[in-house]
Copies of this chain bind each other. A is one copy, B any other.
Amino acid sequence: MRTSQGVEWALHTCLNLSWLDAPVPTGILAAFYELPPAYLNKQLQALVRAGILTSTSGPRGGFQLTRDPGEISLLDIVAAIEGPEELFRCDRILSKGPGEHAGVDYRQSCVFAQAMRGADLAWRRELAGKTVADVQADVEHRHPESPANTRARIAELR
């Protein structure tokens, strides 16, 4: 059980977009990391549906962040790509067991489901506590040249 590649792509792409102020087309963003352009486009569509990115068609179009990087958590991005389901898949097999009554929601009452949901929430809490702005700050602290490098490379690829 691992996240899809799209998550890593989306994270890094959002960080790059946080250093830019004009729309950037898929082709450029894909070339930045040598990714398949059409498939990256598909992932970015999911970010648009989630309200994280805005898309503009036509020449000089592309993708850009809809809001401040400080308002975009890593959980927002992960959930946009992976979907809203929780990590643990509960098919309520307890309902097939003995001594159990109908009309009970085993997703709520099953102790395992509860424990797994607790772990799921811990995971989400960590992801929700870190924003793109936080990452931005970390990276700029370690590698102050990163924003300029990114802008330069984007301009070079245009």
Interfacial residues, chain A to chain B (CB-CB below 8 A): 1-5, 7-9, 11-12, 15, 32-35, 74, 82-83, 85-91, 93-94, 96-99, 111-112, 115-116, 118-120, 122-127, 130, 135, 138-139, 142-143, 145-146, 149-150, 152-153
The CA-CA distance from A127 to B91 in the complex, in Å, is 19
Residue of chain B at shortest CB distance from A109: B142
Contact A87 B123 (CB under 8 A): yes
Contact B123 A8 (CB under 8 A): no
The CA-CA distance from A5 to B64 in the complex, in Å, is 38
Contact A88 B12 (CB under 8 A): no
Choose from B8, B12, B96, B145 the contact partner of A34 (Cβ within 8 Å). B96
Contact B1 A3 (CB under 8 A): yes
Contact B97 A3 (CB under 8 A): no
Could you say how many copies of this chain the assembly holds?
A: 2
| Cβ distance A154 to chain B, nearest Cβ, rounded Å | 9
- Sorted nearest first, the 7 A-B pairs with minimum C-beta distance are A119-B126, A99-B149, A123-B123, A98-B153, A2-B89, A122-B122, A33-B93
Contact B98 A7 (CB under 8 A): no
Contact A145 B99 (CB under 8 A): yes
